[in-house]
Amino acid sequence: MTKYLLSFLIALQCSLNVISLKAQETKHLIAGTVIDSLTNKPGEFFTIALKNDSAVLKSTISDQQGKFSFTGIRSGKYTLVIGSIGYQSRQIVSNLKGDVNLGTINMSASGNKLDEVAITGSKPLIKQEPDRITYDIQADPESKVMSVMDMMRKVPLLSVDADDNVKLKGTGNYRILINGKPSGILTRDPKEYLKSMPAAGVQKIEVITTPPSKYESEGLAGIINIMTSRKVENGYNGNLNFRQQFPGGPSGNMNVTVKHNKLGVNLYGGTGIWKVDGIKLTDNRNSRGTAVPSSLNSLGFQKIDNKWAWGGGEVSYEIDSLNLVTVEINPYGGHNQQDLNNRFVITDGDLRTTYDMDSRTRYEWGGTDYTFNFQKGFKNKKEHLLTFSYKFFDSSEPQLNDVMFNNRVNFTGPDYKQDNISKSKEQTAQIDYINPFKKLIFEAGAKAILRNGQSDFKFLNFNQSQNDYLIDPAQSNRYSNDQNIYGIYNTYTLKLKDWTMKAGARLEGTYVTGNFESTNSTVKSDYFNLIPSVSVNRTLKNSQSISLGFTQRIQRPAIWDLNPFVDKSRPNFETFGNPNLEATLSNNFELTYSNFKKGSVNLSLSYNFANNTQQQVFEYIESLNLTRITSYNIGKNKMLGTNANFTYPLTDKWNMNVSANLNHLWLEGVINGVNTKNSGITGYANLNTSYKFEKQWKASLSYNYGAPDVLLQGKSNYYYFIGLSGSKDIIKDKLTFSAMVANPFQQFRTFRSYSEGVNFTQEQTRDNPFRRVTLGLNWKFGKLQGAIKKSERSITNDDTKKASN
């Protein structure tokens, strides 16, 4: 691997030498001096970017006297963009024919607006706000060829493990939103969708670590918000993206926007196929300390066929300058079919049992989201808003398991099928009010969420005498779950000269009822929570800032965590939900230091703790030679973590970003009367570098490393990722071709999970496809003038736990 990396760096250096030896042309200078308009003092450490059309050519930082300059600039029309923390950005157009000195440039403070800091000197990749970090996907050249999941490997605070599970600060307890709203396509298992979704259709990814009180209190670690909507203008424009991945398959997406006077229409959609074969799976379980020793060993190969499609349409109409109506519809659907051929060898004392298993598991999903927003403005100031929103969500997620056995030795179990028809509906109504004063912003709102989930699961055994599958009533049931949540919130933001302070609270009442039809039994749980949220940001000298935040978060069990359906797609293993699960409350503290000069440094220290946490538990039933897997509220969790992010433009065209996360976890829980503890260090490290060549060529290199996960009953293995990509504008800013090779030195990567209990040890492995090649083509079309107005507030239901992977 060292040889390949060395070759890449040599080629890159040669390219730089060729560029520097080009014949000299007549070139000019642009200079100026930045001044604070209020104090008339020099503006030190302001970021100045030189743009030609939509591309950033060079960037620099003003010195202690506020002076800056660009040399070696060809004649032409350019735009200078000037900005810094706490100041309104400014653009200056210059038609350069000779050396130009712009003289004094006055910069005004940003007033009541919350500060947003651009981290990179060219088009910013990363932005830091008091309560979140934003990664600009469109500013990254690799977005043309990578999937959304691949891009998440680059986002600070996020990591992706060897089994493609996304982690936020090393944990899976978070909430994913699309455009600030929940989406049914991400409800159950988001990783299949994220690793197939082209990143070209995404604008940015927000990681909200200290969510303010306007957000629901769910998601122990925070919120991941994927923004796909774009600011659009009069006329029309669009984007088409096509990707072909080997192995995998084709995928693509489109976005078309039309704006005419007060009416704006946005249509978007995507589809794709992901097929892989030859995935090796193993299970090895051994009893320990039992009267009769037993073991289970299996070896199998899996084939996956995944197809999906999603779409949507949004209509925005400005009734007048103060009143706005938006309506949005989002249908989606798809399936994931897994065909598995397994060989089992089971020993129980002197008895040896063997058989071959052929199974087919098919997961389907489909549904539609409907959203309506009405926004009323006030004449006194444009930020003074009152918003009414309503959302209806309807989805279905059927699952079919078809299991057959062959070549049996000492095995008499029948072939069987499992049919689980799962449906859910959700209605949300909310009102939000915001009123900014001179230094204070007041926010308040109320929300009601009404959820209903249903599961009709049937177990059918094959009856040889009747040559048919017959329902087993003892293993079949109908389950329904109603979860109603009512909340109100109030938030205040105080903006002083060097201070930004946010404080608020959210009061939530939750009412949960579960019904079992076959047993005529009911499970109820009602609780109230007052959730505080506080964050303070202090702006220091020399483009530095420090932030301190505290919030509480809730993890509510979702419908699939509560659903008692027993998944028996793997013999000798049973996975099911627990209808008795309760919500978990977490306390989160975070301290962040940022330094934004030519490069940037972002350092954070966090600590959180929670009791009664939801933990997945493995239990070995010796008498049945069976492992049961479900979740219980038994855990006590503590985590002390640190995160670092460093970005630096090595040259005007060469940029580098390094990020790392290190966490120490302490886990504790009582399993079958035995106090179980585990602790350890986990985290990740990412290195990303990109270079812009002449004639619209771009190249990027990524390397990611992840330490093993720490679990209550075990751990996983480490993982890494290498990606090398390049892109070329065939038609400038219109048609782009891109290519990527990932992990070229290894075809498969083994994901290993180890767990243990008082009477067993168990190890599972899965060889996921690792090496892949992706080709992409992206076309932008249309021209726009003037912006579509969109509702400032909409429904963001982030109050249920992300799917377990």
pLDDT digits (tens, 9 = 90+) for 140-161: 766 765 678 777 777 877 777 6
The mean-pLDDT minimum among 218-227, 644-653, 656-665, 763-772 falls in 218-227
Residue 215 tokens, joined: 């957000």
| Short-list 243, 265, 263, 261, CA closest to 253 | 243
pLDDT, tens digit, 9 for 90 and up, residues 701-725: 989 899 999 999 999 998 888 989 8
Per-residue pLDDT band for 171 (boundaries 50, 70, 90) equals low
Q: For 43, which DSSP code? A: -
Q: Give the side-chain half-sphere CA count within 13 A for 737.
A: 3
Measured distance CA(386)–CA(442) in Å, rounded: 12
**In terms of pLDDT, which residue wins out, 146 or 106?**
106
Region of residue 634 (left: phi > 0; alpha: psi -120 to 50; beta: else):
alpha
Dihedral angle, C-alpha 565, 569, 574, 575, nearest 10 ° = -50
Instruction: Kindly report, residue by residue over 421-473, the tens digit of the pLDDT.
Output: 999 999 999 999 999 888 899 999 999 999 998 999 999 999 999 999 999 99
Q: Helix (H, G, I), strand (E, B), or coil: what is residue 409?
A: strand
214 DSSP 8-state letter? T
pTM: 0.71
Helices marked H in 178-251: 190-194
Quick one: pLDDT band at residue 800, thresholds 50, 70, 90?
low
Average model confidence (pLDDT) across the chain: 82
Q: What is the pLDDT of residues 478-526, one digit of tens each?
A: 889 899 999 999 999 998 888 889 899 999 999 988 887 777 778 788 8
CB atoms within 10 A of CB 187: 22
- In tens, the pLDDT along 121-133 reads 345 567 766 667 7
Count Cβ atoms within 10 A of the Cβ of residue 79 and give its class: 0-12 exposed, 13-18 middle, 19 or more buried: middle
pLDDT tens-digit series, residues 586-645: 999 999 888 866 667 889 999 999 998 999 999 999 888 899 999 999 989 999 999 888
Higher pLDDT, 786 or 792: 792
pLDDT band at 214 (very low <50, low <70, confident <90, very high): low
DSSP for 618-639, please give it: EEEEGGGTEEEEEEEEEEEEEE
Question: How far apart, in whole angstroms, are the C-alpha atoms of residue 504 and residue 521?
Answer: 40
Q: Is the dihedral of CA 314, 731, 249, 143 positive or negative?
A: negative
Residue 606 confidence (pLDDT) = 92
Please enumerate in sequence order all residues whose Cβ is within 8 A of that of 669, keeping only pairs 6 or more positions apart, or say none.
Answer: 613, 615, 617, 632, 634, 635, 636, 675, 676, 712
- Per-residue DSSP letter, 598: S
